[in-house]
């Protein structure tokens, strides 16, 4: 059976630190451990972010509205996983997503902002891990913006899906009205559906009435890579 140390060491924030360092953190930092049942809401979109959430066991569903709530992104995450790093500080400290447990006995660990900051101040490895996670997220979305003005609709949609979904997510579904998809992608309807059909033909996604389900994230990433290689 996995120990608490084993569970924490699977989290990206703590990977690479020593047993002694982890033991010290457990001794001095007040961790808040909670258990949720199936369909319990863990945090609701719009709430002030109280700290960093770590999924230690089970599975959660994350529902994130974007494009002024006209597009809904639904993703499933299995333990271990880290949430809420992007809303701890800055101009927007409200969480954007609603997180719901989808298994019984879903284990969540919550660290308050001040306690998480203390860990980062006192442990350089955790600080570097956190900065890497934040930078990776920012770079993904910046890359999607770079391609937003391209004439290739497949590149637009594929890069957007990569930027606004997570690599570790399961059962990724993005839902929107046809008109909202076209507005967001800056495409007319025929161009948008030709783009979708092309990606369906490659078994990267499947669609139904504006609902896009991602089937192959590796294929999606390879598609973007091949098109950007052609460009440069």
pTM, 2 dp: 0.84
CB 164 within 8 A of CB 73: yes
The DSSP output letter for 166 is -
Residue burial 109-126, b: 16+ Cβ < 10 Å; e: rest: bbbbeebbeebeeebeeb
Q: What is the pLDDT of residue 102?
A: 96
Assign 73 a pLDDT band (cuts: 50, 70, 90).
very high
Residue 96 lies in a domain: yes
* pLDDT above 50: residue 34: yes
Number of domains in the chain: 2
* pLDDT above 60: residue 150: no
Q: Is 119 helix (H, G, I), strand (E, B) or coil?
A: helix
| Residue 196 sits in the same domain as residue 125 | no
Q: Which helix (H) or strand (E) holds 14?
A: none
Strands 59-66 and 170-176, by their bridges, are unpaired
What is the rounded distance in angstroms from the CA atom of residue 151 to the CA atom of residue 148?
9
* pLDDT above 60: residue 145: no
Average pLDDT over residues 59-64: 96
| Residue 94 sits in the same domain as residue 205 | no
Average pLDDT over residues 210-217: 93
Higher pLDDT: 225 or 201? It is 201
Assign 1 a pLDDT band (cuts: 50, 70, 90).
very low
* pLDDT above 90: residue 11: no
* pLDDT above 80: residue 229: no
| Residue 21 sits in the same domain as residue 94 | yes
Residue 71 lies in a domain: no
What is the rounded distance in angstroms from the CA atom of residue 114 to the CA atom of residue 155?
41
Q: What is the pLDDT of residue 201?
A: 94
* pLDDT above 50: residue 149: no
Residue 199 lies in a domain: yes
What is the rounded distance in angstroms from the CA atom of residue 192 to the CA atom of residue 91?
34
Nearest alpha carbon to residue 71 among 97, 53, 39: 97
Count other Cβ atoms within 10 Å, centred on residue 169: 17
**Percent of the chain at pLDDT exceeding 90:** 44
Higher pLDDT: 148 or 69? It is 69
Higher pLDDT: 148 or 96? It is 96
Strands 71-78 and 211-214, by their bridges, are unpaired
| Residue 102 sits in the same domain as residue 212 | no
């Amino acid at each position: 059976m996995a120990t608490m140390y084993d569970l924490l060491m699977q989290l990206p924030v703590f990977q690479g630190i020593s047993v002694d360092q982890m033991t010290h953190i457990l001794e001095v930092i007040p961790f808040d451990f909670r258990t949720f049942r199936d369909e319990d809401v863990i945090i609701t979109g719009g709430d002030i972010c109280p700290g960093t959430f770590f999924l230690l066991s089970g599975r959660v569903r994350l529902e994130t509205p974007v494009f002024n709530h006209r597009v809904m992104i639904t993703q499933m995450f299995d333990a271990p996983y880290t949430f809420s790093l992007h809303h701890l500080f800055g101009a927007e400290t409200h969480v954007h997503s609603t997180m719901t447990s989808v298994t019984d006995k879903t284990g969540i660990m919550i660290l308050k902002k001040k306690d998480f900051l203390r860990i980062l101040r006192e442990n350089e490895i955790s600080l570097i891990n956190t900065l890497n996670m934040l930078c990776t997220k920012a770079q993904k979305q910046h890359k999607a913006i770079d391609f937003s003005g391209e004439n290739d609709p497949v590149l637009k949609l594929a890069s957007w899906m990569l930027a606004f979904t997570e690599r570790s997510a399961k059962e990724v579904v993005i839902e929107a009205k046809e008109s909202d998809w076209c507005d967001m992608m800056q495409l007319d309807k025929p161009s948008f559906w030709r783009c979708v059909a092309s990606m369906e033909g490659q078994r990267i996604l499947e669609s139904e009435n504006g609902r896009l389900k991602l089937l192959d994230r590796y294929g999606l990433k390879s598609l973007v890579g091949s098109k950007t290689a052609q460009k440069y």
